[in-house]
Copies of this chain bind each other. A is one copy, B any other.
């Protein structure tokens, strides 16, 4: 009955089940009635947990919506760190972000993103995540052993890449928008590489 691939302990399984129950309930209620008109207390009641339990699993109401995007950060960092030898960082990012945008603009993730864009609170939270990921990405770029990039340059490229993701996601033609933005990123990156010293 229980999935044997899950962590062994009954305790952790129950914890994960509670977590999933909360997230699923919340998302369902958000879809039914809209994000803003569903209160935390209602979600907790519906999911049959205490409000404090909900906040033990999720840091905020907004985080309930972004539960699914948990691997976003990991994938970005991996794209930079594990890219093929000799492959450009920009190319690796371009491909990875193309896949991420595609994932967001097709399938059942679409509904969630329209919900996010309709709520100021969620949009703000998305922005906060964007900056957080940009910081992580910048660190990953600077940590790449085959590159010697200044802090400003890596910060800038990372922010640029995240902005490209967001712009493409919001665009009518995501593929084209992303390619155009990455054309600019490539140029900006070249400028830092050619003016390298030492």
Interface residues of A (CB under 8 A from B): 124, 127-128, 131, 150, 152-153, 155-157, 159-160, 163-164, 167, 171, 176-177, 180-181, 183-192, 195
Docked CA distance A127–B127 (Å): 8
Number of copies of this chain in the oligomer? 2
A184 touches B188 (CB 8 A): yes
- A187-B188, A191-B186 as given contacts; A181 in contact with B163, CB under 8 Å: no
Q: Which residue of B lies closest to A138 (CB)?
A: B167
Which residues of B sit under 8 angstroms from A164, Cβ to Cβ?
156
Docked CA distance A189–B180 (Å): 12
Which residues of B sit under 8 angstroms from A156, Cβ to Cβ?
160, 163-164, 167, 180-181, 184
A191 touches B187 (CB 8 A): yes
